Structure 1
Amino acid sequence: MPILGRFHDGRVADVHGVELHYLAEYETGSLLINAATDHHELARWPAADLYVVPGRRDELRLACSSASAGARVVVQGAENVARIRATLPVLQSKQRREAGRQTRLAVIATLALASVIAAYLYGVPLLANRLVGLVPTDWEQRLGATVATQMEASLGGFQLCDPDPDSLANRAIARFGQAAMAESGSPFALSINVVRSDIPNAFALPGGQVFFFSALLEQARFPDEFAGVLAHEIGHVAHRHGMEQLISSAGTGALIGFILGDMTGISLAAGLGSTIIDASFSRDAERQADAFAAAVAQRMDFDPSGLADLLNRVGRDDDFARALALLSTHPLTDDRKAALAELGAQRPDGLEPPFTTTEWRAIRTMCDRTAFNSGQTKTK
């Protein structure tokens, strides 16, 4: 007794009522598809080429890899479906193989996803220090400019406290920066910007840019505190910690940027301008920056532990300010505080101070001036 079904030849929209027969020939035989009306043969599909496609419940849809792409045989009813499965055992073995293949693909995809997540969370941050060496300096400078632009937009713009690069305060700060970088071997030209902000903070960006906010400068009571923070931030520049942090934050996106040669900085820096302020450098990076500040203090007469004093003062004043300030982005642990005090005690005698009394007075008051154009932004 034939099995009844419907046949679509995949070429026209007509649907044929058919009788299905199994013809034993060769190794696996063939499925004969005959018209239900006059019993003439419409198609003959090799059983080895048959496969099941998704269908409704109590329905079996068969396709043939050697037939037209849209060709289908549809068998309905639990009894007919059971009969054709019993007639064509090759379908069962194919379905088992397909199920096994799908399971293997799912396992492989899961393992691949887990590998990507592990690389993103652990591998890339661990390799970030080595990857930094692969980044061309001009690219890093452009990345830093991109981040600075986004950061400026997120904070409502940067207004320099003193836009005159030849002022006493700016010349003193620039001289300090040059002296601090003198023995670092850094390829970057340092740009130190003191800008107006109610947030007590300071940070270094990739490519040599350092920003010192006026609210933090107002908290600095002594030149040692200002010099300690500034030297610490310059240390981040010298060690390229900003670029390292961007690679760690961007993860696999940074690697894709390297592979594709993205020299615009968009894929790596987009969206990171606002988050880099909130992200802390690693403990190793903070220790390196502290050690750099101490090395600078070996050549100038200031105590690098003034950094710890300023951090403590900022943290005591205001819980909200502390959450957004230097204490958040540069956490001061007891070990780090003790290390800074020890590094400060190792300074030799007879050193020149980083700033004269007149220079420090000019720096301390550079953000108090009101004669500057309120629309002036960073131009250095």
Structure 2
Amino acid sequence: MSISARYYDGLVATSHQVNLFYERLGTTGALVLREPQSNAELTRWPAQTLQVIPGRSGELRLGAVGLPDGARVVVSGETDIARIRATLPMLEERQRRESGRQVRLAALSTLALAAVILAYAFGVPLLASRIVAIVPPGWEEGIGATVAGQVEASIGGDAGLPLCDPNPQSPANRAIARFADRVIAEVGSPFTLDVRVVRSDVPNAFALPGGRIYFFSALLNAARTPDEFAGVLAHEIGHVAHRHGMEQLISTAGTGALIGFILGDMTGISVAAGLGSTIIDARFSREAEREADRFAATVAQRLDFDPAALARLIGRVGQDNDFSRALALLSTHPLTDDRRLALEDLGRERPSGLEPAFTNAEWNAIRDMCKPETLKAK
């Protein structure tokens, strides 16, 4: 006795009305599809290849392994569906196995996604310092140049970077370059420093991979002594010397950085793209900040400035409040008071008779470099 059904061959969208027959062949059988008028056989599907395809309520959809994805037979009506299931009991078992497989696949996919998230959130930052150690300095300089282009575009736009003093041979720029060269030369860093003082209302300073440092005029104007300026600049040079900027980029870029490193694409495209506008506000880890603070204190052992002045300047432009103290255990940035106390301890043993970081004339030139020309002339 046949069962009426709709047949889709998977090649065209048109359906064909067919009659279904089941032929037993020894221990197995086949589902035979015949044309209703002529009773001609259109195709037959071996029973061992049959499977249930998810469909609408009140329908039973059958497919077969090895056929086009759209090939199916659709049976409607509770009576005919019950007859199919009674004739082909193996369909129930296969459907249960498929449901179990889908559940296992979903669970494995969820676990895999969780593993990727954990690796991205915790694994990559832990690996970043090790990756940095094997990144060639030339690659880091290339990445730094890419990020610098994005940073300068975000700061200056079409007008270009608003430097306080574009003349590299001015007394102020020469004094800053002399200080930076003396500091970096003592640590054997492969990078040549390029310190740029930029007009900005934001009190900030930051270092990029490869040696570029930006010092914003609002922070310079907030400095009351050459010690405060020298402390911040030495701190930023510490970030360059310890390659914290590259470490931060790798940690932020995550798996993209790892892939770029494996493929040899560390020239700035895979790691730095899109990060220039965010690195200005990026904060290094507590350990990186402490390391840069210790670097500044070490510089103060060679040049005559108080490393604790760094924390005093930061304290004036970003004073700790009750909210920041409450979140101190969760914050990646050390509290200013903690930094000040640590820097005071580090600077307590400074020897006497050291050469000043800047002469009075140099400090006056640096302090005035971001003032309007009319005020400089006076």
Same fold (TM over 0.5): yes
1:241 corresponds, among 237, 244, 258, to 244
| Alignment match of 1:185 (pick from 175, 185, 188) | 188
Name which of 276, 286, 297 aligns with 2:300: 297
Q: Does 1:55 align with 2:55?
A: yes
What is the CA deviation profile of residues 31-80 of structure 1, one whole-angstrom value per residue up to 9, with x for unaligned ones?
Answer: 12233334333322110111222333211222222455544322111211
Q: What is the CA deviation profile of residues 256-299 of structure 1, one whole-angstrom value per residue up to 9, with x for unaligned ones? A: 22233324423322222221122211110011001101111111
- Please name the residue that 1:376 is paired with: none
Per-residue deviation at 1:18? Answer: 2.8
The structure showing larger relative contact order (alpha-carbon pairs under 8 Å, at least 6 residues apart) is 1
For 2:351 and 2:204, locate their aligned partners in 1 and report how far apart those are by CA, in whole Å. Answer: 30
Long gaps (5+) in structure 1: 318-327, 372-380
Return the alpha-carbon distance in structure 1 between the equivalents of residues 135 and 181 of structure 2: 23
- Residue identity in the other structure for 1:99: S
Alpha-carbon distance in structure 1 between the residues aligned to 2:12 and 2:317: 79
Q: Is residue 2:366 matched to residue 1:363?
A: yes
- Give the RMSD, CA atoms, in angstroms: 2.3
Give the corresponding residue for 2:86. 86
- CA drift of 1:350 comes to 1.3
Distance (Å, rounded) in 2 between the aligned partners of 1:270 and 1:203: 18
Give aligned pairs, total: 362
Once structures 1 and 2 are overlaid, which stretch shifts more, 201-210 or 157-166?
A: 157-166
> Partner amino acid for 2:43?
A
The 5 Å alignment of 1:132-147 reads: 132-147=132-147
State the shift of 1:368 in Å: 1.7
Residue 9 of structure 1 and its aligned partner are, at CA, apart by 4.1
Distance 1:143 1:109 in 2: 34
Gap runs ≥5 in structure 2? 321-330
- Which residue number corresponds to residue 378 of structure 1? none
What is the CA-CA distance between 1:15 and the residue it aligns to? 4.5
What amino acid is the match of 1:181? I
AA paired with 1:97?
R
1:313 and 1:11 map into 2 onto residues whose CA distance is 74
Contact 2:208 2:245 in 1 (8 A): yes
- Is the CA contact (8 Å cut-off) linking 1:45 and 1:67 kept in structure 2? no
The DSSP-based 3-state class of the residue aligned with 1:274 is helix
Say if 1:140 and 1:207, in contact at 8 Å, map to a contact too. yes
**Pair 1:221-2:216 in alignment:** no
Structure-1-length-normalised TM-score:
0.88
1:229 shift after superposition:
0.5
Q: Letter of the aligned partner of 1:36 in structure 2?
A: P
SS for the counterpart of 2:25 is coil
Distance in structure 2 (CA, Å) of the matches to 1:366 and 1:275: 27
More displaced stretch, 347-356 vs 2-11:
2-11
What one-letter code is carried by the residue in structure 1 that aligns with 2:152?
A: E
CA contact (8 A) 1:308 1:332 kept: no
Aligned-partner SS, 1:29: strand
CA contact (8 A) 1:161 1:369 kept: no
Is the contact made by 2:197 and 2:214 (CA closer than 8 Å) also made in structure 1? yes
- Partner AA of 2:265 in structure 1: D
- Deviation readout 1:132-177 (Å, 9 max, x if unpaired): 1232222211221222222222223422212222222111111111
> How much has 1:329 moved relative to structure 2?
9.7
Instruction: Give the secondary structure class of the aligned counterpart of 1:4.
Output: strand
- Please say if 1:115 is aligned against 2:115: yes
1:105–1:180 distance in 2 versus 1, CA, 3 Å: same
Partner Cα separation in structure 1 for residue 178 and residue 66 of structure 2: 80
Amino acid at match of 1:59: E
